[in-house]
Chains A and B, each alone.
Chain A
Amino acid sequence: MEPMVFPYPILTYITFIPLIGVIAVLLLKRESVGAIRWTAALFSFVPFVLSIYLVWYYFSAMGTGMLFNIHSQTQGFVFDFAKPLAWFPQVKIHYQMGADGLSVPMLFLTGLLSFISIIASFGIKERVKEYFAWFLLLEVGMMGTFSALDFFLFYIFWEIMLVPMYFLIGIWGGPRREYAAIKFFLYTLFGSVFMLVAILALYFAAGSLDMLELIRQNVSYAHTFQMWVFAAFFIAFAIKVPVWPFHTWLPDAHVEAPTAVSVILAGILLKMGTYGMLRVCLPMFPQAAIAYSIPIALLGLIGIIYGALVSMAQTDLKKLVAYSSVSHMGYCMLGIAALTPMAISGCLFQMFSHGVITGALFLLVGVIYDRAHTREIAAFGGLGVKLPVYTGLFTLFAMASLGLPALSGFVSEFLVFVGAYNSAFVSRWIVLVAVLGVVLTAAYILRMIQKIFLGQFNTRWDNLTEINGREIFTLAPLGALTILVGVYPEILNVFLRGTVDNLVKMIIP
């Protein structure tokens, strides 16, 4: 069977067009702020359009039935190139990009959120040129990570993301930006070290850096080897997710980061961790995946409950949303641990919908912060009278976040619960306790809504202005996606099913 190839290397385009954008922005004059903004918007809009084309192309490729043919060695991928391009052939480093059911939705989400974030960043006043240059470079790293199929390439993109993120938080952030930026950078780098060691170990054990080749060889790795290398990868990815107890960089980074950066951080960067687990840990080390199932599920459970309880204690709106991410990503971990198709689909649903919902919530927090210059929950009150549209939008996404049915958050939670309960590896009690998270989430979300929007109107906010057209423009697609996926999940599931099946069959033949 010939591998399926895109008519032209679309993933390479998606990844490197923002890089051209970086150069274009750098060539512009520092003073021409408008030109810089629109250039950046253009160079993030093109990858977004291409990612829609990618979705469409992948969908039609699935329709041909070639993708998941039993004779296929390509595991549901569509590639940029028929054969990996030789890069440093002496050390077996190749250049290959490909997309499957795991990455197609993520690439689309990256395209969308990057574009939205750049539009949302139009309010940035200082050092505009550098800001957008860094932002576009960040997009290069994200797109590359989701499409790279060679470990060397994967690692490069993974590390590339750190640098723009460091500067974006460290320069345009809040009062404690330097602390937060350094913490984020060092913490992630600390994880990357484990990843590098693990990649080298794999390279010396299997003699390849081709990720698909390494997956194909997964049966040949010894049990102990699997356990160690899995653990190393897991730590690297867990810090990014972040899995409890590696989560403390997250609230700091979120609180200090500018709005758009928070959106990207929560919407995409956290998903890199779970993506890595699904792309690397599970298929390459199936025995270890089974052996570690219960510990991972427990970490997920702790994350769910602990994150929700800690969110309840927050007084800063942004920090509350940040901690809620810890809770929500716990569902992903539970799904990964369960190793059933439904649970893993649930994890992927959660990655997608958490990206959309939390991205939107950070945008909304940014909207109010831009006007009120505070995020203290207690400082507000009764805004529902003054800002009905803003209140409506916030309530919609808050409800999505608490897992209201007919919105996408519910689908993922439900699938994770049902899938994990059907798992042969995860204890059923873990699942039943995890269900408690739902009510804790409801408690802190409603409390937040009540304190900000309900009650007596605080006259201090008399001249607060309603959400504007540009801001609604950034939120509307996210709202539409939340409802669409929530009402008819098959629309996303159709992309996941084949790949997830394949993945589970690799682990449990």
Chain B
Amino acid sequence: MSWAWIIAALPLLSFVLIVFFLHRSNRVSSLFSISMVLISFVLSCIVLIQTLGDPTPKEYWIEWAVFSKAGMAGAEQPANQPGGKPDAGYEIEGSQPPGSFGQAVTPNEHGAVAGHTEGDSGHSGKHALSFPEPKRHGRPGEFVIPMGIYIDPLTAVMLMVVTIVAALVQIYSVGYMHGDPRFARYFAYLSLFTFSMLGLVLAGTYVLMFVFWELVGLTSYLLIGFWFEKKSASDAGKKAFVTTKIGDLGFLAGLVILLFAVGTASLPELNYMIFNGEIGGNMLWLVGIAGILMFAGAAGKSAQFPFHVWLPDAMEGPTPVSALIHAATMVAAGVYLTARMMGIIMVTETMMYVVASIGAFTAFLAASIGLVQNDIKRVLAYSTVSQLGYMIMALGLAGYTAGTFHLMTHAFFKALLFLAAGSVIHAVHSNDIQTMGGLNSKMKVTSITFLIASLSISGIFPLSGFWSKDEIFATAFAGGHYFFLAAAVLVAFMTAFYMFRLYFMTFTGKPRDHHAYEHAHESPRSMTVPLMILAVLSVCAGWWGIPWLTNGYSSFVYFGAVHHAEPNIPLMLLSFVVAGSGIGLAYLMYVKGAISPARMTERFRPIYTFLYNKWYFDELYMAVIVNPTYRLSEFLFTFDQLVIDGMVNGAGKLTLALSWLHEKFDTYVVDGAVNGAGYMSMFFGRNIRKTQTGQLQTYALVVFLGAVVFIFIMLI
């Protein structure tokens, strides 16, 4: 499958061609862009089919940069350094002492068979994590930075998800963006976005992942701020870029440390080295540090606490872009990276708890904010943050299968929710659900597809969301993490509630704004067809992961070892009941009016205000980070001008002052001496002249006196 890079290259081609040649014609631009992504989709299908047939990972490499290792501190370290006791969450069979993760185990002795692991935080029983021997990049004396693509089942699944969602979003955009003055450019950006994400998915090393990671950041900056005439849009783009960039600092620093510690950033090589004990104790500890830092990058992109603030603002972008960002690209990138980092996460138990806790907390935080928002897109945005928290939590609990499975199902129903919301906004020209209502009679397709997606995200049997959410519950339950399970259940309840609050307020009841209602109409075919396709996927995609299937998702996408959870009927029932009661509560409040929302708001006013203002995170960051940075920058500039440049100018002035002094010295002392000498000679000349009288008698007298003196001296 060495041709798989073409999947990413096609959207890039469409970007380049639109920017340079096609942009004059809107029609050609959009058609070309859509056809490229559709070809990518077909190719992704081929990759998926081939991978299903032969799931062994494939890797293809080129050498991107090669350096000598001379004089490097890390150069002398032996690869196998026994010792050290990292906080290992997993241990390796064959090196029995617990926690001795860094035991020297040469790959030759054990071959490609990795150690067996016993999950003390993990699942029942033992299962082996085995990784086929990857290509080794190290060479003695040389530091090689390779670049390449890596295709394993997760790659194949993600390629599918990204190309499907991207294709549908592009098709939908033809209708949604109709008449926009920068229509062609919009498609160029979408293509670049798709390219970046596909590149990220294909990337075989963390370095290459970082490259595409930043490109994803750039393109989302461009798309969020697409309507840049609006200050709020350009602000939101900037906020997204800078906030995620702060997380990316962690990614970059982690990468630097990782390259120092193990000398490779290749995904398969790193996993292989970790699970074959090729990394010494101290270095393994460093890998754990690197992992935490890199996770900061993932948290930034996936809008996890404390980086969650950018995502709701990103709603300023066109709605199809939001769908793409929320379903398949930007925020999925963070979860994807976390999944890719599974091996590093597993190095330390602390790391796993950090990841899981951040995920759980974010899930709760975002869901709590989502309860009270009135902007249709914002509610969806918070629901994304919350669902991403779910996935991150699952990954932190070593639920590789559960996390990635939810990523996939979520991609479909969240894309659907956003596109349906876009259809509503397109119809009523408003984002505020308080002005909507009763739209289900006017917008049949939108209403029904939105309902399907809401049921799916709430986790109603037998839609996709039910199966993936159940997988997460099962992971938490099987690992004995009851606290996380409780959090997940609570969030599931909140999710069902706010989703149906949104649904009921938008589509049912009486219209609140009659003017908008009169003008509302169903969207054009190019917009509703993608909705219908996504609705089908929102229902069916999850069936791949039905636990009774022997050959389902969990036996295809797994980390090191198949982990087939036993179907847990009571847990499923719990999940169903929780979702149902959330919906029921929303029904009581917003349809029946049995509980007055206004009265609730009044009773819990402080909590409501706190939630409505998003826990005041924006204000906090403004006061603690943004403003002090600006103030520091102003201060340093003043310092630069007054002190540093002041010294330079001072030195100049001092030189001038000295030269003034010199000038005076020169005038009065040096030149004074010269003039003085002249003056003296004049003085003497003037006075001595007086002796030259010209009278012979005087001269004779002087001669006589001189002779007398002379004789007198001689005599003595």
Chain A contacts to B: CB under 8 angstroms: 183, 186-187, 245, 247-249, 306, 309-314, 339-342, 345, 382, 384-385, 388, 392, 399, 404-406, 410-411, 414-415, 417-419, 421-424, 431-432, 435-436, 438-440, 442-443, 446-447, 450, 453-457, 488-490, 493, 497, 500-501, 504-505, 507-508
**Known contacts A442-B242, A455-B228; A490/B65 CB under 8 A:** yes
Given the interface pairs A186-B652, A306-B636, A489-B64, the reply to whether A312 lies near B252 with Cβ below 8 Å is no
Contact B637 A442 (CB under 8 A): no
- Asked if B215 and A310 make an inter-chain contact with CB atoms under 8 angstroms apart, the answer reads no
19 A-B pairs whose Cβ atoms sit less than 8 Å apart in the complex: A183-B648, A306-B636, A310-B636, A405-B215, A417-B256, A418-B260, A421-B256, A422-B75, A431-B256, A432-B256, A435-B252, A439-B242, A439-B248, A447-B238, A450-B238, A454-B234, A456-B231, A497-B66, A505-B70
B72 touching A423, Cβ below 8 Å: yes
Chain A residue at smallest Cβ distance from B147:
A488
Question: Is residue B67 within 8 Å, beta carbon to beta carbon, of the partner chain?
Answer: yes
Q: How far is the CA of A422 from the CA of B70 in the complex (A)?
A: 11
A455 B67 Cβ-Cβ under 8 A: no
Contact of B229 among A247, A312, A455 (CB under 8 A): A455
* B-side contacts of A417, CB under 8 Å: 252-253, 256
Give 1 or 0 for each of B615-633: 1 = CB within 8 Å of chain A CB.
0000000000000011011
Contact with A along B200-217 (1 / 0, CB 8 A): 000000010011111100
Please tell me if the beta carbons of A438 and B245 are within 8 angstroms of each other in the complex: yes
Which of A406, A424, A436, A450 touches B71 (beta carbons < 8 Å)? A424
List residues of chain B with CB within 8 A of the CB of A382.
228-229
B306 to chain A, nearest CB (A): 15
Q: Chain A residues near B234 (CB, 8 Å)?
A: 450, 454-455
Q: Considering the complex, which residues of chain B in the window 644-687 have a beta carbon less than 8 Å from any beta carbon of chain A?
A: 644-645, 647-648, 652
The number of residue pairs between A and B whose CB atoms lie closer than 8 Å in the complex comes to 169
Tell yes or no: B259 within 8 A of A by CB: yes
Closest partner residue, chain A, to B196 (CB atom): A406
Determine the residue in chain B with the shortest Cβ distance to A313.
Answer: B637
**Identity of the chain A residue whose Cβ is nearest the Cβ of B239 in the assembled complex:** A446
What is the CA–CA distance of A388 and B23 in the complex, to the nearest angstrom?
12
B225 lies within 8 A of A312 (CB): no
Name the contact of A340 in the complex, choosing from B72, B213, B241, B636 (C-beta under 8 A).
B72
Quick one: which of B73, B215, B640, B647 contacts A406, CB cutoff 8 A?
A: B215
Question: A345, A384, A424, A438: which contacts B67 (Cβ < 8 A)?
Answer: A345
Interface residues of B in 38-92 (CB under 8 A from A): 63-75
- Asked whether B246 is an interface residue with its Cβ less than 8 Å from the other chain, the reply is yes
> Using Cβ atoms and an 8 Å threshold, which residues of chain A touch B260?
418, 421-422
Chain B residues near A505 (CB, 8 Å)? 70-71
In the assembled complex, the CB of B228 is this many whole angstroms from the nearest CB of chain A, namely 4
Partner of B632, one of A309, A447, A500: A309
Q: Is B257 an interface residue (CB 8 A)?
A: yes
**Does A410 lie within 8 Å of B65, measured CB to CB?**
no
Main secondary structure of the interface of B (DSSP, over half): helix
- With A405-B214, A438-B252, A450-B238 given, is the CB distance from A501 to B72 under 8 Å? no
- Chain B residues contacting A501 (CB-CB under 8 Å) are 68, 70
The verdict on A405 contacting B211 (CB below 8 Å), with A340-B71, A424-B73, A501-B70 known, is: yes
Whether B73 and A312, one on each chain, are in contact in the complex, defined by CB atoms closer than 8 angstroms, is no
Given A248-B648, A312-B629 in contact, is the A442-B245 Cβ separation under 8 Å? yes
B67 contacts which chain A residues (CB < 8 A)? 341-342, 345, 415, 419, 493, 497, 500
On chain B, the residues within 8 Å of A247 by CB distance are: 644
- Which of B73, B242, B652 is close to A422, meaning CB atoms less than 8 Å apart? B73
Give chain B residues whose Cβ lies under 8 Å from the Cβ of A418.
Answer: 255-256, 259-260
7 smallest CB-CB distances across A and B, nearest first, come from A405-B211, A454-B234, A313-B637, A248-B645, A454-B228, A312-B633, A424-B73
Q: Is the CB of B214 within 8 A of A404?
A: yes
**Contact status of A497 and B228, CB under 8 A, knowing A312-B629, A447-B238:** no
Is A508 a contact of B648 with CB atoms below 8 Å?
A: no
B229 touches A493 (CB 8 A): no
The reply to whether B256 and A457 form a contact with Cβ atoms under 8 Å apart is no
